[in-house]
């Protein structure tokens, strides 16, 4: 396994941006310190998603950066991605592990204490505390963990905990101190005036 691939994970948020332009943004971020990319493209046509995933993997492979597919085991298998990230309603981690095999990575979002108890028994590579802070990039958030909740989750998880939701340069050090082993970000880089500088700064803050 690439050490700490989840240290600084970029979750895609292309919206209506042309794919070629968006891939340039991705390249800027990975060249500056992003350690993995999670492809999250809700509602896209299957043909577009497959093309997008293939182009993204080709780019990431040049930099030896892992590609994680959100909520789509079949797509991960189709393009030989490094793994998948599953929400609580995205299918069983047990089935995903059976389909993907032992060498692929599986992440699982955790929104309650009961979900963490179940996750501790699963063969996954990390769990994601979703969400640590309020965020506009995910609908139907069940729980905002906060720093205290994140700390408790990290202490009780047998898997590394990745923090997601409202993570930025102003709170990332507190998040890591609370027990997160990595962070997944959207707005922190997509909304940055200079994505390259912000990526490097975030890596500096969590190193």
Residue 104 lies in a domain: yes
DSSP 41-61: -TT--HHHHHHHHHHHHHHHH
Residue 40 annotated as part of some ligand binding site:
yes
166 annotated ligand binder: yes
Residue 151 counted as domain residue: yes
In a domain, 13, yes or no: yes
Q: Is residue 3 part of a domain?
A: no
Report pLDDT digits (tens) over 130-160.
Answer: 999 988 776 667 789 999 999 999 999 999 9
Please tell me whether residue 117 adopts helix, strand or coil conformation: helix
- This prediction's pTM: 0.95
Residue 176 lies in a domain: yes
Q: What is the mean pLDDT of residues 63-85?
A: 98
First vs last C-alpha separation in the chain: 19
Q: Does 2 fall in a domain?
A: no
Q: What is the pLDDT of residues 4-62, one digit of tens each?
A: 899 999 999 999 999 999 999 999 999 999 999 999 998 899 999 999 999 999 999 99
Distance from C-alpha of 31 to C-alpha of 145, rounded to nearest angstrom: 31
What's the CATH number where 30 sits?
3.20.20.70
109 marked as binding residue: yes
The predicted structure's pLDDT at residue 140? 66
The boundaries of the domain holding residue 146 are 8-206
CA torsion angle 91 87 94 97 (round to 10): 100
> Is 14 annotated as a binding-site member?
no
Residue 129 lies in a domain: yes
Task: Please tell me whether 33 is known to bind a ligand.
Answer: no
The number of folded domains in the chain is 1
């Amino acid at each position: 396994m690439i050490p700490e691939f989840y240290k600084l994970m970029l979750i895609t948020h292309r919206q209506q941006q042309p794919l070629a332009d968006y891939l340039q943004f991705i390249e800027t971020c990975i060249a500056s310190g992003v350690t993995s990319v999670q492809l999250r493209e809700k509602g896209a046509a299957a043909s577009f998603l497959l093309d997008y995933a293939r182009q993204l993997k080709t780019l990431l492979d040049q930099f030896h950066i892992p590609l994680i597919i959100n909520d789509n085991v079949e797509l991960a298998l189709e393009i030989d991605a490094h793994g998948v990230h599953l929400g609580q309603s995205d299918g069983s981690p047990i089935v995903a592990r059976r389909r993907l095999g032992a060498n692929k990575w599986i992440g699982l979002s955790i929104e309650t204490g009961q979900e963490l108890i179940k996750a501790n028994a699963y063969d996954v590579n990390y769990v994601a505390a979703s969400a640590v802070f309020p965020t506009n990039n995910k609908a139907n958030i069940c729980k905002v963990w906060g720093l205290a909740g994140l700390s408790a989750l990290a202490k009780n998880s047998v898997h590394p905990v990745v923090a997601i939701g409202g993570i930025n340069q102003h709170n990332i050090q507190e998040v890591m101190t609370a027990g997160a082993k990595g962070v997944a970000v959207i707005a922190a880089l997509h909304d940055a005036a200079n994505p390259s500088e912000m990526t490097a700064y975030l890596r500096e803050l969590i190193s």
